Amino acid sequence: MLRLEPRAEASAAMRWCAPLLAALCTVAGGLLLFGLLGKEPLEAFTVFFINPLRDRYALAELLLKATPLMLIAAGLSIGFRANVWNIGAEGQFIVGAIFATGTALALHEHGGVFTLPLMLIAGALGGAVWAAIPAWLRTRFNANEILVSLMLVYVAELLVSWLVHGPWKDPEGFNFPQTRMFDDVALLPLLLDETRLNAAFALAIAVLIVAWVFINRSAAGYRLAVSGQAPAAARYAGFSAERSVWCGLLAGGIAAGLAGMSEVAGPMGQLTEHVSNDYGFAAIIVAFVGRLQPLGIFFASLLMALLYIGGEQAQQYLALPASIAKVFQGMLLFFLLGADVFVRYRLRWAGAARIA
């Protein structure tokens, strides 16, 4: 009795309502999941979604967890708008962390006020270098940037594992695969006392503002949008497809590298082989839930951070596996894909006569 009918034009209202609908469906699906796992749904809901917001310290942890997601998603959104599909932000995050760590270790006990700025530059450069590989292969040999950037993630993971097990291993670290702790001058300053929230959050807000200006108020952002939405029109206007590829991938790489630097110079204070918590992959969901717009990315990153912390709370208090957070992330993505159908289609009630 119901059928999908194409809209005359895409619904702007539904475009922004779809993420909210997806979030509500994720919560409803979570309650059902908790019940199937033998947990009392309301108690589990409180642990997963309310406990991470219970006090000032918890809110600071939420913002801290959202920071790398904001940074990475802001960079990815620029490339995605041009149909440049950078799926390897995870690797660019790791290499940015490696470059920043190398700078901190090189300046160990000899650094000063220039240590953090140099680490920022190194982190951004590391992410850019790793993103430049798929950009060059795409523009030179027409290689698929999705596959190349994704495969480079595993190369980056092996590289960081070799470093912390080998040349950068802390000689006083009781044989754990990690570097020495950074000097105080190589750590980001805290924004709130008695919390771990640091200056990386302010950096993330600044990057979101820059991304908004680039996307909505610059000629380069306009060219990227046209290249993604109307490639034929972009070619007719003389917009360079190669420049769009380089711009899209380097923007994602630089932002991911900054996120990697903020992680090692922030809550971790050193480099380990588990430096990333799949932020690079989760940020892809954040970018699309946020509709590739900086303001949407800000709120979407808070939601994704809530899923991360909620998963940790569920593991601690409900004896659920750590993978429960990834289940919620997957539900959010698939509910978003389902809700997006209604951007270009509407449900119509087909009368009995029409069906006959």
- From residue 265, give the alpha-carbon distance in Å to each of 33, 49, 123, 261: 37, 28, 10, 6
Residue-wise pLDDT tens digits, 211-248: 999 999 999 999 998 988 888 888 888 889 899 999 99
Rounded CA Rg of the chain: 22
Question: Could you tell me which CATH number the domain at 40-319 has?
Answer: 1.10.3470
Residue 113 DSSP one-character state: T
Residue-wise pLDDT tens digits, 261-272: 999 999 999 999
pLDDT of residue 180: 95
Q: What ranges do the domains of the chain cover?
A: 40-319
pLDDT of residue 228: 85
pLDDT of residue 356: 47
Residue-wise pLDDT tens digits, 143-153: 999 999 999 99
- From residue 187, give the alpha-carbon distance in Å to each of 7, 27, 60, 149, 264: 53, 37, 17, 29, 8
